[in-house]
Structure 1
């Protein structure tokens, strides 16, 4: 799936958060959004997955305007792993992941054997199969994030939106989650704080600062000492390991 945002503008009161942002993710491409806190990464993603409506501009899925789609149709195209996930009711892990099947159901249609098989496979993929009957609220933040990824996998969408998905995860599960996502037959757009994670997994990166795109390109084109100094105001070295992978060392 091709996802395109054109000239997205959004303000909260008098404060402009997004100032005409355009970005595109091609079919099966892993696109990263980086930038300091408050640069507009999460706000842009929320415009893409319809939590926010931009003041100006538009989002297109395979060339079709997102605003012309009903919410169930867009939910069959976009799966979301957000930063924060709260539920007022005491759902089991299995019930949370089953929510990912709702865009594929008719009104009042019951979950069937196929749905349960898809959910079981999704939980197995993220290493949470043994937690299926646990209450979601009793899990750690990292465990909850893996369940939310399983919910997105159960949704079976051609595009996955990740809003800083590794915030609550230890390094083992950060790498595990992103390896799973990287292998999907899907377009991925992710806001990422860790520049080394971005270098490892992204095909292309957009850099946001003060609500504007200031650079875009491959990780090797974008993640330079000069740009990191300009965007984050820190000094760094760019090195390669024995396998040719780039790493960023901060002073």
Structure 2
């Protein structure tokens, strides 16, 4: 997903994560301050920013992708879904800045501020459960299901490429996706549309990568050279093939 590429990458110094200031930094820090004031303590806290660098607090714990045995446990999956729900609820009142500068294009209707990249590598775990969400650089206004669709894609995962032991079959992926949605509390009448939302989300990601590369982004040029866009397009095909099975499975009890 979109990340910094101007200046040095994130640096940990004296308990703070430093990274280059970007056009959306003001909104991201205002968001972090808003959810902190709302009682959400599972996100980094803003430690200020200037024209060169932004600083946020570091959350102690472990992170990684589904190749991490702990990260693919059901407990981590469901605790991550619970964290996302609490974060969404806290961000729902952050509407005055919905038209500000964000890295990703806002997606109406503006129900919450989507995290934008709610994947295992952006969740911190401790003692076998998810305790923090990091990297809000891709945050942007949108509907809950826009964020949930990408989260389910990453956490189920609804992919033949994001493979890990015991979750390579579509049946197991659907079961994990359903556990995520059940814990989040997504109503049944919003679940059938999720496969199509995942497809739209991935197509949007590919378009973003290609546009950034065309405008001179070295990072996205490298990503495309390495075939990342082809992976996402292949997963779009995978989800289309299993669309009806996924939609039905997400409704099962």
Flag the structure with larger Rg: 1
- Which structure: greater helix fraction? 2
Do Structure 1 and Structure 2 share a fold, with TM-score over 0.5? no
Q: TM-score when scaled to structure 1?
A: 0.26
Q: TM-score when scaled to structure 2?
A: 0.26
Q: Which has the higher contact order (CA 8 A, sep 6+)?
A: 1
